[in-house]
Amino acid sequence: ILNVEQSPQSLHVQEGDSTNFTCSFPSSNFYALHWYRWETAKSPEALFVMTLNGDEKKKGRISATLNTKEGYSYLYIKGSQPEDSATYLCAFIRGGSNYKLTFGKGTLLTVNP
């Protein structure tokens, strides 16, 4: 069983606040890390696929960084809006002879207007 931890479990912020959360994963046999956003009653939506140590990716107000040597990724949201309210999931993919994908339990973000 691969340990993929996300923190915090849930987060309430005010509109306009910036926020960040963490995904921790094993630092060996890294293949890729995915971030997804999952709004209630919708499908998970891909945010980023990160494959290289030191990767920094950005999409609008959301950005992510990756440190494969120490086994963590941060997701940042700048100037949170109510429509950012969702569960943010990371998925760690271990490489090797066969792929092993493990999701974290997610961070539930609520942005209050």
Residues making contact with other proteins (CB under 8 A): 4, 31-32, 34, 42-46, 48-49, 51, 89, 91, 93, 98-99, 101-106
Region of 79 (left: φ > 0; alpha: ψ -120 to 50; beta: rest) is left
Q: Which is nearer to other proteins, 67 or 112 (CB)?
A: 67
Q: Which is nearer to other proteins, 4 or 77 (CB)?
A: 4
Q: Which is nearer to other proteins, 34 or 80 (CB)?
A: 34
Residue type, 29: N
CA distances from 72 to 21, 75, 84 (A): 10, 10, 22
| Cβ partners under 8 Å of residue 98, min gap 6 | none
Closest distance between other proteins and the C-beta of residue 72, in Å? 17
Closest distance between other proteins and the C-beta of residue 41, in Å? 9
